[in-house]
Structure 1
Amino acid sequence: MTNPSEIIPGLIFYGYNSTTRKEKVGFLSHHTLVLQVSGHFTLETAEQKISMNKGEMLLIGKNQLGQITKTPQSDAHYETIVISLQEDLLRKIALEEHRESQEKYTGPPNILIPANEFLKSFFQSVLPYVRNPEEALTKEIGLLKVREAVTLLLHTMPRLSNFLFDFSEPHKIDLEKFMLSHFHYNIPVAEFAGLTGRSLAAFKRDFQKIFAMAPRQWLQEKRLMEAKNLIENRHQKPSAIYLDLGFESLSHFSSSFKKKFGKTPSDWSSRIAH
């Protein structure tokens, strides 16, 4: 999730929005627990679409790409608490408590956590820290809160042991299928490599074999062709699509589009309209 306030760097974050916002995000390296304080949260990945409201919790698996929609409700702003379940801490817990993955986890990568009194109390215990950032929360307390979250998750859903304590490397996945589904995410090529279970060198080598061009070149071409399709066939406005297609700014999108097709997106859109 982008631009939250860090309550404990790398561990606990607080997000607040007064208007609806969409973000394309990469969940890399660590599992993430999202506590919905108020408003409506939707996560959409290639495999799942999950929504939650005030008081609900979602466990998001590592090594994914997805789009988050944050929507305030009529009576409240949008607020979330995000807890990063970092692998080094999970490894430490596994060693100290003699926990290990009995078998490779094969369930859904994102799981709504059923509420109970323990989790509700944990939820309430975190709120004062994130709503009063001027009161310094030490890293030690932050680590205790993360440990508490892990303990309560396992108490609520024991099968999450295989989810949380699977430390195996991501296996190689179908690179072509993955890239065709996720080309519009604006992340570094190295992160695409990791998400497909490859080193950067192996990713570039396999990519060249499949697409007959370098990753950056292909991504640019694919995004521009998709932009042209959306403008021509779905009558989308350039300003409404450039972020969703992985371009960092409207000016960058416009200059790239013009270089490829000879007209700016706005000129192309006007031509179609007439």
Structure 2
Amino acid sequence: MINPAEIIPGVVFYSYHSSVRKDKVAFLEHSTLVMQVSGRFSMETANETFSMEQGQMLLIRRNQLGEITKTPLNGEDYQTIVICLKEDLLRQIALEEKIEAGKKYSGPPNILIPGNDFLRAFFQSVLPYVRHSDETIANTVGLLKVREAVLLLLHALPEVKDFLFDFSEPYKIDLEKFMLSNFHFNIPVEKFAQLTGRSLAGFKRDFQKMFDTSPRHWLQEKRLTEARHLIEDKNKKPSAIYLDLGFESLSHFSHSFKKRFGKAPSEGLTVGS
């Protein structure tokens, strides 16, 4: 099992990697609960970097951009269990449990969950589904497991209620600050609009006013300018930076770089070229 496998489709995932793997995670759409079975899980967003190891748990806020690094430790394989807390399931749980929702959440976007025997026992209860991942599990079981995880989270940390049950759309945020911090993520313009609290039309309109150009042109120019800086001033190799700057392949990056600056990135550039 090299790639993540769905234990319960769309709800519970089990990830297994035998070597270091760095995944460009463009858009974390749903809130997520992660239990680290073995190895180290590291996540970097525009504003913070954090990691966890065996036995630790992390609650990740929806609608984030980030990059995850999965590292085996002490000769063991990397293993993690991921519970996807989709909004429709959380809405159903709120109705069933008569949980008051709607308060705007303003706390940290990612929370390390303190050691808790109940949650650890919950993840142990998921392992049989891992061992029999070839069997079809009904969606009703998936809902029950998510419901159990949510209730245990609320028992351990009552303050995460607003984290889980804030269903409001993001407020319109500072467009310039957000784009300068997140331009390197390879996501569609539509996602940038959503994350800044705007419709696509509103995003394009505000973007044109702010940067005097279109989002696609600005993103391409910003990424290539940053690439030139890293190659010229930081002696970075093209193969080491293209993914981190939002390019899908080295050939795509090289073609775009040469078209913009007149030389392939591997040739290097002199100041003023």
Question: TM class, shorter-chain normalised?
Answer: over 0.9
Residue 31 of structure 2 corresponds to 31
**Structure 1: stretches of 5+ with no match in the other structure:** none
Q: How does 1:1-274 map to 2 (within 5 A)?
A: 4-101=4-101, 103-268=103-268
How far is the alpha carbon of 1:88 from its aligned partner? 0.8
Question: In angstroms, what is the RMSD of aligned CA positions?
Answer: 1.5
User: After alignment, is 126-135 or 76-85 more displaced?
Assistant: 126-135
TM-score normalised by the chain length of structure 1: 0.94
Instruction: Encode CA deviations 1:134-163: one digit per residue, 9 max, x unaligned.
Output: 132222212111111001000000111111
Q: Which amino acid aligns with 1:110?
A: N
How far is the alpha carbon of 1:99 from its aligned partner? 0.5
Q: Distance in 1 between matches of 2:155 and 2:195?
A: 30
User: After alignment, is 42-51 or 239-248 more displaced?
Assistant: 42-51
Q: Distance in 2 between matches of 1:137 and 1:126?
A: 12
How far is the alpha carbon of 1:110 from its aligned partner? 0.2
Q: Distance in 1 between matches of 2:11 and 2:244?
A: 28
Aligned with 2:227: secondary structure? helix
Give the direction of change, closer, same or farther, for the CA distance of 1:131–1:266 in structure 2 (3 Å limit). farther
Q: Distance in 2 between matches of 1:249 and 1:88?
A: 35
Paired residues of 1:29 and 1:87 also in contact (CA < 8 A): no
Q: Which amino acid aligns with 1:13?
A: F
Identity level (%): 68
Aligned with 1:159: secondary structure? helix
| Runs of 4+ residues over 3 Å off in structure 1 | 26-29
How far is the alpha carbon of 1:102 from its aligned partner? 7.1
User: After alignment, is 61-70 or 247-256 more displaced?
Assistant: 61-70
Aligned with 1:76: secondary structure? coil
Q: Distance in 1 between matches of 2:95 and 2:135?
A: 33
Instruction: Encode CA deviations 1:173-232: one digit per residue, 9 max, x unaligned.
Output: 001100000000001110111000111111111111111111111111000000000000
Q: Distance in 2 between matches of 1:102 and 1:202?
A: 25
Give the direction of change, closer, same or farther, for the CA distance of 1:248–1:27 in structure 2 (3 Å limit). closer
Q: Which amino acid aligns with 1:207?
A: F
Q: Distance in 1 between matches of 2:267 and 2:28?
A: 38
Paired residues of 1:27 and 1:61 also in contact (CA < 8 A): no
Q: Distance in 2 between matches of 1:222 and 1:16?
A: 35
Instruction: Encode CA deviations 1:231-258: one digit per residue, 9 max, x unaligned.
Output: 0011000000000000000000000000
TM-score normalised by the chain length of structure 2: 0.94
Q: Distance in 2 between matches of 1:119 and 1:27?
A: 26
Q: Which amino acid aligns with 1:159?
A: E
Aligned with 1:221: secondary structure? helix
How far is the alpha carbon of 1:28 from its aligned partner? 4.2
Q: Which amino acid aligns with 1:93?
A: I
Q: Distance in 2 between matches of 1:214 and 1:89?
A: 37
Aligned with 2:243: secondary structure? coil
Aligned with 2:201: secondary structure? helix
Paired residues of 1:100 and 1:162 also in contact (CA < 8 A): no
Q: Which amino acid aligns with 1:112?
A: L
**Structure 2: stretches of 5+ with no match in the other structure:** none
